[in-house]
Structure 1
Amino acid sequence: MPGITQRSTKPPILKSTFISHGTLECRDIFATRRFYEEVLGLEVAQQASLALIVRLGGHHVYAVIETPDNDQEMPLLNHNGIDLGTREEVDEAHVKMQEIKDEYGIRKLTSPVLQHGTYSFYLQDLDGNWWEICYLPKNGFDFRFDSGVDLTGREDLSAAEIRSRLQRPLEHVTDRTYD
């Protein structure tokens, strides 16, 4: 059952400044670089024969490591977000992804929906990684921190109220995908 968390009163052990990077796996570094540059519009630099580093619009990067024998797929809930400027751009991108999915090895594609403050669709790339292509309000998810919707410390809500407010399932993901 979902629960309400409490903010810690302890000072953090680390004096962190920002989330700098994450890691993604790929099966074919050449095809993956082409997909990242030509489809997702990422800036790419090759750091080693089996490694890329990618970024878009900021200082956070992903190290992309070729692991050709790995047939694991990223779970959809572990997806990465790519932001577009308008809802119309999301719809246009969805149409374009349908047209090019075979050329770029896109495995699955969901329909665009309005959910959790964004308008978006998901795609699973040639490496089994999931991407959410979305339109967010100005300043991205800052509204989640500034809106007063934070449930931290709330004791006045029942489990059903919590689920109805913030625990919306991603039902559209499994019914509207295709290979």
Structure 2
Amino acid sequence: MSRPDDQPTGGSPLVADLLSGDRDRILPAVWAIVRTRDPEVLAPPARASAAIEAATTDVELGGALASNRWHLAHALGRLRRFAAGECLCGAYPDHQFYDPAKEVDRGHVTVVGTVDTGRQWVPDRICECRDCGTRFQVEQGEYHYPWWAWTEVAPAEGG
């Protein structure tokens, strides 16, 4: 039987948090994975993703309007993308909590235009990934909380 200190943390506090079995440590680690593209941060949990998945299977993660298990599954999906060498912008369409303004602040995307669709109060934004150049049309909506729907679009003419 393994003890918690036998787990494959690789010296990463993030991995230690994800393997802890403690919801109050797991959830901030999940959001750290969702927010970053830093390879030094993502590599240790990517290597430990099988152990993380096993360690979190029976942990009650809660969540009110959106299940925290869904956020964990999304973070694990990001780790798989990272391990496969895929650009992490590919995760945008899979999760409704990527606020374009925050992604701009993190240096992950640039807003290159807007589209007034008449569907929402806020015009859709056209965001371009700063790593690979993929473009997305981002619709912002609101129900019980703000959400964003990212849809990949064709590159600009001549771009």
TM-score normalised per structure 2? 0.32
Q: Which has more helix, going by share of residues?
A: 2
TM-score normalised per structure 1? 0.30
Q: Which has more strand, going by share of residues?
A: 1
Structure with max Cα Rg: 1
Structure ranking higher on relative contact order (CA contacts 8 Å, 6+ apart): 1
